[in-house]
């Protein structure tokens, strides 16, 4: 059996304008390690852009905490330290007229979770066999 290594990063970004560029670069790095196909990398970057655009509006204490994990076939993002109902509000913000919900369209799973600091939005993008 082949080992299933996981690459993980956690970021706490206090400056809203930096969130998008930093998150996109970290996702790109982890996706490359997980052998992510380019079409799913585009989806992951779209998720990153959406998180960067709407995450700061719903963050507690002005900081957005993003945990990323990549392993063979999967990229997972958790956006945490959100205000009460912040994850639901981020999902609502991701709704575009004529397109639908961007996050729900490109992610294989989208869940509202509780974390130690409040609410979190979890997303999984699969690109396995």
Instruction: Give the pLDDT of residue 127.
Output: 85
Q: How would residue 129 be classed by pLDDT, with cut points 50, 70 and 90?
A: low
Q: Is residue 71 in a domain?
A: yes
What is the domain range of residue 70? 6-126
Q: Is residue 1 in a domain?
A: no
Query: Which CATH number characterizes residue 89's domain?
Result: 3.30.565.10
How many structural domains does the chain have?
1
pLDDT digits (tens, 9 = 90+) for 68-104: 998 888 899 999 989 999 999 999 999 999 989 999 9
Instruction: Give the pLDDT of residue 66.
Output: 93
Q: The pTM is what?
A: 0.88
pLDDT exceeds cutoff 60 at 5: no
pLDDT exceeds cutoff 90 at 36: no
> H helices within 1-97, ranges in order?
16-33, 38-58, 86-93
Q: Is residue 31 in a domain?
A: yes
* Spatial distance between the Cα atoms of 103 and 57, rounded to a whole number of angstroms: 17
3-state secondary structure of 99: coil
Q: Is residue 70 in a domain?
A: yes
3-state secondary structure of 19: helix
């Amino acid at each position: 059996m082949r080992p299933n290594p996981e690459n993980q990063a956690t970021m706490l970004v206090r400056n809203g304008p930096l969130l998008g560029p930093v998150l996109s670069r970290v996702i790109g790095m982890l996706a490359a390690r997980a052998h992510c196909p380019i079409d799913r990398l585009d989806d992951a970057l779209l998720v990153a852009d959406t998180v960067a655009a709407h995450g700061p509006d719903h963050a507690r204490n002005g900081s957005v905490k993003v945990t990323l994990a990549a392993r063979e076939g999967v990229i997972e993002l958790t956006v945490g330290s959100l205000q009460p109902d912040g994850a639901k509000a981020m999902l609502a913000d991701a709704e575009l007229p004529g397109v639908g919900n961007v996050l729900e369209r490109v992610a294989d799973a989208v869940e509202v979770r509780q974390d130690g600091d409040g609410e979190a939005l979890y997303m999984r993008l699969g690109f396995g066999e």
